[in-house]
């Protein structure tokens, strides 16, 4: 699909998403940029709903980066255990808290270049924090929902999240980038699900080519192995 056609497709997608979600918002509960950063790190390989059950106690014990920088590894692991991968998450959050205090005077930085220097913070998390915490559209956060829906709608053929982000930034207006992420996440959970997409109720069914993202080699090999053992 040419860039011109992808932009026309993106305009249809944006219209449909905006009609369904006129006031999109994050699924994560937070009150400031630091809480959003922590919640987004915890949300890796975990549902936002589960993260929201953990963060109230976390922020009660350690309200900000200064307090979390002094937290014990085992105590923090115990609190965030339900989110999974708790050892690495606790290690990264403590290190990020120390860096925020030491390098940024206790304030979450408001630039992509600075955010990605924090342990556990890659480009996707940085984009989420910039938009949700500061109202800055520096990039377009690409998670599994955004990647899947973008492929199905023909907005990108890329597999690398950075390349997907670049493709989407080229077709959506900059002022919409943060809301596009929120709307696609909502839509991915409610309608365009991974295994059971609700094409029969999809407002974009008339112009969706229903393309499937290419599967990486490792996933294909695992699938083939399961098939060889007679497992579904």
- 67 with 127, same domain: the answer is yes
Residue 227 pLDDT level (bands cut at 50, 70, 90): very low
Domain that holds residue 175: 3-23+142-201
Residue 212 pLDDT level (bands cut at 50, 70, 90): confident
The pLDDT tens digits for 149-198 are 999 999 999 999 999 999 999 999 999 999 999 999 999 999 999 999 99
Domain membership of residue 184 (yes or no) is yes
- 182 with 96, same domain: the answer is no
Domain membership of residue 14 (yes or no) is yes
Residue 126 pLDDT level (bands cut at 50, 70, 90): very high
Give yes or no: 48 in active site: no
Domain membership of residue 114 (yes or no) is yes
- 126 with 171, same domain: the answer is no
Contacts 24+ apart (CB under 8 A), 149-153: 149/184, 149/187, 149/188, 149/192, 150/184, 151/211, 151/212, 151/213, 152/192, 152/197, 152/208, 152/209, 152/210, 152/211, 152/212, 152/213, 153/9, 153/13, 153/204, 153/208, 153/209, 153/211
- 121 with 89, same domain: the answer is yes
- 42 with 110, same domain: the answer is yes
- 129 with 152, same domain: the answer is no
* pLDDT recorded at residue 1: 83
- Is 222's pLDDT higher than 70? no
Per the model's pLDDT, the better-predicted residue between 33 and 215 turns out to be 33
Structural domain total, the chain: 2
- 129 with 170, same domain: the answer is no
Domain membership of residue 118 (yes or no) is yes
Domain membership of residue 79 (yes or no) is yes
Give yes or no: 179 in active site: no
- Domain CATH code at residue 87: 1.10.340.30
Whole-model pTM: value is 0.88
Mean pLDDT estimate for the chain: 92
- 11 with 39, same domain: the answer is no
Lowest model confidence (mean pLDDT) among 47-61, 76-90, 204-218: 204-218
- 39 with 112, same domain: the answer is yes
Residue 31 pLDDT level (bands cut at 50, 70, 90): very high
Among 86, 117, 134, residue at a domain's last position: 134
When pLDDT is averaged across residues 37-50 and rounded to a whole number, the result is 96
Query: How far apart (Å, rounded) are the C-alpha atoms in residues 193 and 189?
Result: 6
Domain membership of residue 228 (yes or no) is no
Q: Which one of 5, 48, 91, 124 is the catalytic residue? A: 124
- 42 with 130, same domain: the answer is yes
When pLDDT is averaged across residues 12-40 and rounded to a whole number, the result is 97
Residue 133 pLDDT level (bands cut at 50, 70, 90): very high
Domain membership of residue 214 (yes or no) is no
- 59 with 40, same domain: the answer is yes
Domain membership of residue 224 (yes or no) is no
Q: Which one of 29, 91, 143, 167 is the catalytic residue? A: 143
- 121 with 161, same domain: the answer is no
- Domain CATH code at residue 15: 1.10.1670.10
- Is 145's pLDDT higher than 90? yes
- Is 218's pLDDT higher than 70? no
């Amino acid at each position: 699909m040419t860039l011109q056609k992808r932009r026309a497709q993106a305009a249809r997608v944006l219209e449909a998403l905006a009609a369904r979600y006129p006031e999109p918002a994050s699924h994560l509960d937070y009150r400031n940029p630091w809480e959003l950063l922590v919640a987004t790190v915890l949300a890796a390989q975990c549902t936002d709903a589960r993260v929201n059950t953990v963060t109230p106690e976390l922020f009660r014990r350690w309200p900000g980066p200064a307090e979390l920088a002094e937290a014990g590894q085992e105590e923090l692991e115990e609190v965030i255990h339900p989110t999974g991968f708790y050892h690495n998450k606790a290690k990264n959050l403590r290190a990020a808290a120390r860096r925020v205090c030491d390098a940024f005077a206790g304030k979450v930085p408001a630039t992509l270049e600075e955010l990605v220097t924090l342990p556990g913070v890659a480009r996707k998390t940085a984009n989420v924090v910039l938009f949700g915490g500061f109202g800055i559209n520096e990039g377009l956060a690409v998670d599994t929902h955004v990647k899947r829906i973008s492929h199905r709608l023909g907005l990108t053929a890329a597999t690398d999240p950075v390349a997907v982000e670049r493709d989407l930034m080229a077709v959506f207006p900059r002022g919409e980038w943060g809301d596009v992420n929120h709307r696609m996440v909502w839509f991915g959970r409610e309608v365009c699900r991974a295994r059971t997409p609700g094409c029969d109720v999809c407002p974009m069914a008339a112009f969706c080519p229903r393309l499937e993202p290419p599967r990486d080699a490792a996933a294909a090999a695992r699938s083939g192995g399961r098939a060889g053992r007679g497992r579904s």
